[in-house]
Amino acid sequence: MSYEFSAYLKSIFYAVLALWSIYSSIRIYLIYKISDWKIRYPGLERTSSFPKAGIVAGRILLLFVTLICIFFSGWKTDYKDEKKEESFRGVDILFLVDVSLSMQAIDNVPTRLAKFKEILLRMLPSLNGNRFGMIVFAASPFLYCPMTSDIAAFSDYVRGLDVDMVGDRGTDLKKAFQKAEDLLNSEKVFRNRILILVTDGEDQNDPELVSFPANFQIWAAGTETGGPIAYNDEESGLSGYLLRDGTLSPNANIPGVIRSKMNPAFLRELAGKNNGALYSLETNPPDAESFQKEIRSLEENLYSRRKDLKRAEGSAKYLLVAILCMLLDWIFVETFLFSRKKGAVAA
């Protein structure tokens, strides 16, 4: 349970309080002047009508009490933390994403990794109700995003993908495959799931083909003709195309520039061993409709998610007092002011 009062509402309250102070000061000053005039000009009261000081003071007090009650209705509100359990049906979708330097090759525009991010972010809104997770790898893998049904949170993880997030250079598909298998065989991933490998297939270690315990897809990055690897470090200001000696060149066409190529033969064999689909981010990118069809072909998992909620209580009593004060002010005006004016007109 906690008390909260937003800075925005607090600013509004202080502004209204300042207006009340100005209004009250003017009214009190006028009452003082009227009292002074009555002493100086004894016949003035017979020809003019003036509000009584007690009524004016009462109205000012009622307005002040109203403001205080409105303030407390916001500040003295009890916010109770609650947990609501929601049930969902869907499948688990695990991405195994290559973030080695070769994913910065520009044969996919603007780069291979950026192309994947663009395609996935465009598809995600139509995949609501499923759980998503991600392993990233270069020379070593790690769990980048645990399984989650929060698409907005997963989208933030996707936007944060970068080739510099794994310190070890190179690509080790064998370690990445083992990491994916371990996660799929754990209790963190449900029975009905899809594993999506996103890579160009380049690996100097010539990895063995693996059968994964999941429905399988490959989203192949790059092209068979390949392209130079662009490197850009905003912090250091270094940019250019990667050379074989590890330096950078501003020209992509000079000798020594590394040309990274997709390994289509290995990717086709891996997809065939797992009876999976092979997509090319360049020529045959996956789309939401075909992916939804793949999901519908699986038996959906039933899972629940606890949602943190805040319930506001306790403001009603203060609002009720504020309304009563405003009603009392209206009665003051109708009874003591308008009735006197009507009586004066009738006379």
Residue 122 lies in a domain: yes
Q: Are 133 and 185 contained in the same domain?
A: yes
Q: Are 304 and 324 contained in the same domain?
A: no
Q: Which two tokens stand for residue 171?
A: 């690509």
Residue type, 76: K
pLDDT of residue 273: 96
Q: How far apart are CA 296 and CA 108, in angstroms?
A: 30
Residue 126 lies in a domain: yes
Q: Which two tokens stand for residue 268?
A: 């086709």
Residue 97 lies in a domain: yes
Residue 187 lies in a domain: yes
Burial class (CB in 10 A: 0-12, 13-18, 19+), 162: middle
Q: Are 178 and 301 contained in the same domain?
A: yes
pLDDT of residue 345: 46
| Residue-number span of the structural domain to which 196 is assigned | 92-226+261-308
Q: Are 43 and 14 contained in the same domain?
A: yes
pLDDT of residue 43: 64
Q: Are 173 and 292 contained in the same domain?
A: yes
Residue 156 lies in a domain: yes
Handedness of CA 6, 8, 12, 18 (dihedral sign): positive
Q: How far apart are CA 68 and CA 74, in angstroms?
A: 10
Q: Are 124 and 144 contained in the same domain?
A: yes
Q: What is the CA radius of gyration of the chain?
A: 36
Residue 295 lies in a domain: yes
Q: Are 125 and 191 contained in the same domain?
A: yes
Q: Are 71 and 100 contained in the same domain?
A: no
pLDDT of residue 200: 96
- Number of folded domains in the chain? 2
pLDDT of residue 321: 73
pLDDT of residue 330: 72
Residue 234 lies in a domain: no
pLDDT of residue 85: 60
Q: What residues contact 176, with CB distance under 8 A and at least 6 apart? A: 96, 98, 135, 137, 141
Q: Are 158 and 172 contained in the same domain?
A: yes
Residue 232 lies in a domain: no
> Which domain CATH number covers 107?
3.40.50.410
Q: Are 24 and 156 contained in the same domain?
A: no
Q: Are 69 and 165 contained in the same domain?
A: no
Q: Are 278 and 148 contained in the same domain?
A: yes
Provide the residue-wise pLDDT of the chain in tens; the chain has 347 residues.
Answer: 444 555 666 676 677 778 778 877 887 787 777 777 767 766 666 656 666 666 677 777 777 777 777 776 665 555 555 565 666 678 999 999 999 999 999 999 999 999 999 999 999 999 998 999 999 999 999 999 999 999 999 999 999 999 988 877 788 999 999 999 999 999 888 888 999 999 999 987 878 899 999 999 999 999 999 999 998 887 788 889 999 988 999 999 999 999 999 999 999 999 999 999 999 999 999 999 999 999 888 876 665 555 555 555 556 666 677 777 777 777 766 666 555 554 544 44
pLDDT of residue 81: 57
Q: How far apart are CA 290 and CA 268, in angstroms?
A: 19
